[in-house]
Amino acid sequence: MVKRLFKRQQPPAEPESSLDAERGRMLIEESREIVVVLDAEGRVLTASRRAREIFDGLAEGEAPPDSVLRDALAVSYSVSGATETLVYVRDPGDLAAYEELRAGFTASVSHELRTPLARLLALLESATLPNADRDELIESAQAEVRQIGELIDDVLFLSELESGRELVALGSTVALPILEEVIESLAESAGRAGLTLRAEGDPEAELPLRPRMIRVIVANLAENAIRYAGPDSTFTLTLRPGELVAADDGAGVSEHDLPRLFERFYRADRARASRGTGLGLAIVKHIANSAGGMVEAESEPGMGLTIRVSFTSP
């Protein structure tokens, strides 16, 4: 009797193309993003779970609801000769939060512009009165125009940063010469305010920022001290590797105001009469955060203000 031994046959291996297709489908399905894939006719091929949870009527083989394509990023590509489109959809909650922030920012800018414009109008009207000191009024009007220009420049710069068109961090820069340059350029303004400016620190220390961004940070920190520290005060910039500390021994900031120091347009009560734009420290914080750093402030009334801009080591 002859026994035949039969080797159990393994099921045929699944083609690599099928594995790739299944892998791609699962990546989309489990994605935390809101993703929809469309065919050449604009019909749904597949969608992530989040997309199906958010949009009713999202069915394979059907055209997606109009809300899917509104404010979305579409990327077209070809697979085996067929054209498909990958659609990344903005979270409606994120969009609502953005619109709320944009509306609030627009309202703040409008409010901040109205104040110097109202003062400018009053000055020009006063200049038309008999016996008016026109030279003094014109000088005051010019100061209001300069403030409006500074506010517009700050708003545009902040918008530029947030849109991503400006590279904040690009390599590292030896920073002390820049600190000294900015301090020298502000010496006359500081002298009028009765403030002494100093820059010190490690001459080899670097900050992970472009030179322009270092200038912006230093100028805004120094100008904040010039406006608010008070006469007979000293403002010192101290540079260490990856860290910049700005400290003055002036009026200081109250415990109530300190947490809001870096908010746009926020001014403490004693600073509301200042001609500052209210955006300087917000810009400092935004630049530092964009480069992976952080900003901290500590103060007590009458004990000065210390602002520390620090960056983590790569």
pLDDT at 286: 84
If asked whether residues 147 and 277 sit together in one domain, one would say no
Q: What is the reported pLDDT for 7? A: 46
User: Does residue 229 share a domain with residue 207?
Assistant: yes
Residues 270, 238 within the same domain: yes
Whether residues 306 and 186 share a domain: the answer is yes
**Is the same domain home to 225 and 260?**
yes
Q: What is the DSSP string of 233-300?
A: EEEEEEEETTEEEEEE-SS---TTTGGGTTSTT---GGGTTS---S-HHHHHHHHHHHTTEEEEEEE-
Examine the domain organization and report whether 178 and 307 are in the same domain: yes
Does one domain contain both 46 and 139?
Answer: no
In a domain, 272, yes or no: yes
pLDDT per residue as tens, the chain (314 positions): 444 444 445 555 445 556 666 666 677 777 767 888 888 888 888 888 888 887 777 888 888 887 777 767 787 877 777 888 888 776 655 555 445 545 555 555 665 677 778 888 888 888 888 888 888 888 888 887 877 777 777 666 666 666 554 556 667 889 999 999 999 999 999 999 999 999 999 999 999 988 888 988 999 999 999 998 999 999 999 999 999 999 999 989 888 888 888 887 665 544 444 555 567 888 888 888 888 899 999 998 888 999 999 987 54
Output the pLDDT for position 61: 86
- Whether 200 and 297 share a structural domain: yes
Domain of 113? 93-163
Based on the domain organization, do 193 and 86 belong to the same domain? no
- pLDDT for residue 232: 93
Whether residue 257 sits in one domain with residue 180: yes
Whether 97 is in a domain gets the answer yes
> What's 67's domain CATH number?
3.30.450.20
| Distance from C-alpha of 65 to C-alpha of 57, rounded to nearest angstrom | 7
Residue 22 is predicted with a pLDDT of 67
Return d(Cα 126, Cα 121) in angstroms, integer.
9
Please enumerate in sequence order all residues whose Cβ is within 8 A of that of 282, keeping only pairs 6 or more positions apart, or say none.
158, 262, 263, 264, 265
Map 174-219 to HEC letters.
ECHHHHHHHHHHCHHHHHHHCEEEEEEECCCCEECCCHHHHHHHHH
Both tokens of 58, joined, read 């999202």
Domain-terminating residue out of 67, 90, 113: 90
One domain, residues 293 and 209:
yes
How far apart are the C-alpha atoms of 208 and 137, rounded to whole Å?
A: 45
**13 three-class SS:** coil
In a domain, 249, yes or no: yes
- Nearest CA to 218 out of 277, 175, 259 is that of 175
Task: Provide the domain count of the chain.
Answer: 3
Say whether both 218 and 105 belong to one domain.
no
CATH of the domain at 100: 1.10.287.130
**Strands, E assignment, 39-181:** 44-47, 72-79, 82-89, 173-174
**Spatial contact of 270 and 251, defined as CB atoms under 8 Å apart:** yes
Q: Are 87 and 36 in contact (CB under 8 A)?
A: yes
CATH of the domain at 244: 3.30.565.10
Q: Does 5 map to a domain?
A: no
Q: At which of 139, 163, 187 does a domain end? A: 163
Paired residues of 308 in beta bridges = 245, 296
Of 90, 106, 131, at which residue does a domain stop?
A: 90
pTM of the model: 0.53
